[in-house]
Structure 1
C-alpha cells in the first residue's frame, strides 16, 4: 500500500515549494538569458547566495520613515505565502484551505502585496522609489482589469471562478486548450506576467536606469533583510504567476491525483520542469525584443486587455 502524506503536510508543501523554488527559477532564467547573450552568466544558485548575503547585512531606514516602511516587506511576504494555498500547485483536488478564495481573491492578495510595497516606497521620500511606486500603480490600473476579464472567461467556461475547477475542465479534454476563448485568455495572462515580472518589452527587471525603472525602483531605499524579503517575494510572485498559467490554463498535468508520497514528489518535479520550460520561453522573449519607451508600455498592456475582452466576447457570443 502506498504511503500517504497527511493533507496538512501537502498543504504546507505547496507553500514550501513556492518559497524554496522561487529563487532557483529566477536563477535558471538569468542563466539562460546570459547564454542567449553569449555570456557565461551567474550560477543557477546565485539568487540564494544573494539572499543569504542580504540577510546578514544591516538594515537601514531613511530618515523620517515610519513603521510602515519596515512592516511592508513582512506584509508582502505574508501575501505571497497565502496565494499558494488557493491555487493548484501540487494536487488535482482542492485542499481544505483551497476554498478560502477564488482567482479573484488570489488576485486581490497579490494586489495587496503590490500596494504595500508601493506605500513603503512612497514612505521613503526618495524620488526614485516614489517614481517606481507611481509607475507601478499607473500600469496596474490597466493590468488588473485584464486579470478580471480572464476571470470572467474562467467563470463562463466552468460556471465558477475556482482555479481547481478550471484546471479540471482543461484536463477533461484536449479540445479545451485550443478553444479560441481559452487561448485568448491564456495569451492575455502571459502578457500580464511579462508586465508584472518586469520583463522586456516592459522593463529590464535588473536595470537601474531612472528612465525605465519600475519594479526595481520600489525597493530602492530598502536594505539588508528587508531588501532580501522584497527580492524573495518578487521571485515568489513570478513563480505563482507561472503556476497559475501552467497548472490552471495551459498544462494542468503532472499534478498529484492523491496524497501518495510518490504522486506528491512527482508533482513537485513536474511543476519545476514546467516552470523551467516556461522560463526558457520568457528568456527568449526577453532577449528577442527591445525595451519599449515608457509611454508605449500602456499600449502593450492595452493589447493584453483587448485579448482578455475578446476572450469574453468570443465565448459569450461565438461559443468560443
Structure 2
C-alpha cells in the first residue's frame, strides 16, 4: 500500500511526465490522418530538452515579471492535479484545498500570467495574441462557471470527487440531459483553451489567427520550454477533468495498492489518448473559423451551459 501523500505526488508527476507525450501523440495522429509521416510521439520531450539547453534572451523593455511568469504559470497548472481525481476515486490529503471552481480560477490565473508577460514585451504579435486570448476568455470562463453550477445542483457540491462518484453510481447519470449539455460545453471550452480548431491552428504561424503560439513569441530557452511544457500540462489537465469527472470516471484506484495505482496511470493515459483521437479528427475535419466567427463558437458553448442549468429546473436533471 502506498501512503496517501506519495499517491498525491504521483498524481502531479503523472500529469507532468505524460503531458508532452499526449501532445506528441495528437500531433503524430494528425499527421497520419493527413497522409504524412509526421513527428515522433517523443518529439515534444526532445524539443523541451533542446529548449532547456539554450540561452535565455529577452527584449530590453521587459521587467522581472517577464522572467517570473512562465514558472508561475507552470506552477498553477501543477496545482490543479492535486484537486481533481487523476489516479484515485477517493480524495487525497490535499484534495479538499479547492473544488472545480477553484481549479478553474487557478487555470485562468496561469493563462493570465502568460498574457501579461506577453503584453509587457512590446511586441506587436505577442500583444496581439495576449489581447485576443483574454477577449475570448471573457466568454469561455463564464461557461466554466455555469458548468460548475450545473454540477453543484446535481450533486449538492462542486467537489470533483463527488461528481465522479455520482457518475459511477449508474449509467442513467451519464445520459441525463443536463449532464450531457454541460459535458458538451466543457469540451468546446477545452478546444478553445488548448488552441485547437475551430478556434486556432496550434501549429500555424499566421499572425492573423494566432493566440496561444503568439504569446510566447518573445520567450526563448528555458522560459520558452516552461511555456511549452505548461501548455501541454494544461491540455492534459483539461483531458483529465473531462474524463475522470464528467465522462468516464472509471479505472481509478479505490485503494493505495501499487497495482491499482499503476493500472490507474495506464487508464488515464489511455483515456487521454481517446480524447486526443477525437480532437485530432476534429482538427482534420474542419477549417479554422474566421476571427469574428470565433465569438459564435464560444457563445454556442455558453448557450449549452445555460441550457444545462435550465434543463435541471425543467425536470431534465
Q: TM-score range by the shorter chain?
A: over 0.9
The aligned counterpart of 1:168 is 165
Tell me the TM-score normalized by structure 2.
0.99
The aligned counterpart of 1:130 is 127
Alignment of 1:233-244 (within 5 A): 233-244=230-241
Residue in structure 2 matching 1:181, options 168, 172, 178: 178
* 1-structure distance, mates of 2:80, 2:66: 23
The aligned counterpart of 1:53 is 50
Number of aligned residues: 317
In structure 1, the gaps of 5 or more residues are none
* 1-structure distance, mates of 2:196, 2:71: 25
The aligned counterpart of 2:314 is 317
1:317 offset after TM fit, Å? Answer: 2.2
CA deviations 1:180-229 (Å, max 9, x no partner) are 00000000000000000000110001211011001100001000000000
The aligned counterpart of 1:288 is 285
Alignment of 1:22-33 (within 5 A): 22-33=19-30
* 2-structure distance, mates of 1:95, 1:35: 39
Q: Is the 8 A contact 2:51 2:220 kept in 1?
A: yes
Tell me the TM-score normalized by structure 1.
0.98
In structure 2, the gaps of 5 or more residues are none
Runs ≥4 residues deviating over 4 A: none
The aligned counterpart of 1:153 is 150
* 1-structure distance, mates of 2:245, 2:258: 23
The aligned counterpart of 1:38 is 35
CA deviations 1:270-305 (Å, max 9, x no partner) are 000011111001100010001100000000000000
* 1-structure distance, mates of 2:75, 2:39: 29
* 2-structure distance, mates of 1:98, 1:77: 19
The aligned counterpart of 1:264 is 261
* 1-structure distance, mates of 2:129, 2:315: 41
CA deviations 1:66-99 (Å, max 9, x no partner) are 0000000010011011000000000000001000
* 2-structure distance, mates of 1:134, 1:163: 31
* 1-structure distance, mates of 2:197, 2:316: 34
* 2-structure distance, mates of 1:94, 1:100: 10
